[in-house]
């Protein structure tokens, strides 16, 4: 037996999951709605900026789809005892973790691509055209985000001894990364500064932490190639400076907020390195925990 065979098995088994298909359908509806609704809510929409409207809803529902796909990858088999049957075959624990990660990452990648194809058809029907280069790059980057969340989910599954614990941790991961991240970073700032809250001027480490979640790293990288007024979006998502403005009413630049030169680790493209770390680090940690787990 080999890892490719295990990857294929995971892919086929995952494709049979009703939960996955429900999440995929929901992701497709959300992506299509994000493309369609601006034409209804606004008097006129430039097709060039349509992909911007997809960033926040797609990030949220991609994380849901990936977590649903991966959180029972290993914990489910440990809970039922079928993991022992799997180890009756010539697989190591590393093979199991890697195979399940790659198999379920492939499934979620297909789901993301399907949702983007459908949303793209809706966009062309509504606006006549889309910024195809930016749209394709956004789709590829969204696949990377999805695989990162699959890694988090499989890592959770590898470290959890039961289905219920895996589910609890997966739900907690969603809340932390998608709903509470900015608040938690502000809490860290409050503790480090002994009671201050972040304002317009902030230190570099604070902005880095704001961008360090998978979703925020994704949005930061997307802002480097999406056309339109993306700079204001980046400021509001990575530093809590919404509403801050200078004399001209424009939001301050990152250099102005830092009070000096922007360091390399706050360059927008460095967020791609952060996203790359989310692809690797969680699954390594999950494997190390699984390697030490008592499966008896």
Q: What whole-number distance in Å separates Cα of residue 234 and Cα of residue 267?
A: 12
Q: What whole-number distance in Å separates Cα of residue 64 and Cα of residue 148?
A: 12
Alpha helices in the chain (DSSP H): 3-15, 18-41, 55-70, 75-80, 83-86, 93-127, 132-159, 163-174, 181-192, 204-210, 214-222, 231-238, 254-258, 270-292
Q: How far is CA 6 from the centre of its chain?
A: 25
Nearest of 198, 179, 199 to residue 190 by alpha carbon: 198
Q: What whole-number distance in Å separates Cα of residue 177 and Cα of residue 183?
A: 10
Residue pair 24/115 in contact (Cβ under 8 Å)? The answer is yes
3-state DSSP call for residue 143?
helix
- The structural domain count of the chain equals 1
pLDDT at 246: 42
Residue pair 212/45 in contact (Cβ under 8 Å)? The answer is no
Q: What whole-number distance in Å separates Cα of residue 118 and Cα of residue 112?
A: 10
Two tokens, residue 235 = 């400021």
pLDDT at 1: 53
pLDDT at 248: 47
Two tokens, residue 218 = 């994704």
Which of the residues in the chain have pLDDT under 70? 1, 19, 228-250, 296
pLDDT at 237: 41
Residue pair 120/135 in contact (Cβ under 8 Å)? The answer is yes
Two tokens, residue 64 = 């849901």
Q: How far is CA 283 from the centre of its chain?
A: 15
Q: How many CA atoms lie within 13 A of 92 on its CB side?
A: 7
Residue pair 76/157 in contact (Cβ under 8 Å)? The answer is yes
Residue 201 domain boundaries: 3-292
pLDDT at 137: 94
Classify the phi-psi angles of 128: left when phi > 0, otherwise alpha if psi is within -120 to 50, otherwise beta: left
């Amino acid at each position: 037996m080999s890892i490719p065979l295990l990857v294929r098995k995971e892919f086929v088994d995952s494709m049979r999951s009703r939960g996955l298909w429900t999440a995929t359908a929901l992701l497709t509806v959300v992506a299509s709605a994000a493309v369609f609704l601006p034409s209804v809510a606004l008097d006129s929409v430039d097709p060039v900026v349509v992909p911007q409207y997809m960033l926040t809803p797609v990030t949220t529902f991609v994380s849901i789809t990936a977590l649903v796909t991966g959180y029972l990858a290993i914990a489910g088999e440990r809970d039922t005892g079928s993991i022992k049957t799997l180890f009756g075959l010539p697989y190591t624990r590393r093979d199991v973790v890697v195979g399940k990660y790659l198999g379920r990452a492939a499934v979620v990648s297909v789901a993301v691509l399907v949702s983007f194809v459908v949303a793209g058809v809706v966009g062309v029907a509504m606006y006549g055209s889309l910024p195809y280069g930016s749209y394709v790059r956004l789709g590829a980057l969204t696949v990377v985000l999805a695989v990162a969340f699959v890694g988090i989910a499989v890592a959770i599954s590898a470290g959890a001894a039961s289905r219920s614990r895996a589910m609890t941790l997966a739900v907690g991961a969603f809340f932390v990364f998608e709903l509470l991240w900015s608040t938690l970073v502000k809490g860290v700032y409050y503790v480090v500064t002994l009671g201050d809250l972040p304002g317009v001027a902030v230190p570099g480490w604070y902005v880095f932490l704001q961008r360090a979640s998978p979703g925020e790293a994704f949005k930061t990288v997307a802002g480097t190639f999406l056309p339109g007024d993306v700079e204001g979006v980046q400021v509001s998502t990575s530093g809590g400076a919404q509403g801050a403005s200078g004399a001209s009413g424009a939001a301050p630049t990152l250099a102005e907020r830092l009070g000096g030169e922007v360091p390399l680790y706050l360059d927008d493209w460095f967020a791609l390195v952060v996203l790359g770390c989310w692809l690797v680090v969680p699954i390594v940690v999950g494997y190390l925990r699984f390697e030490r787990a008592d499966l008896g």
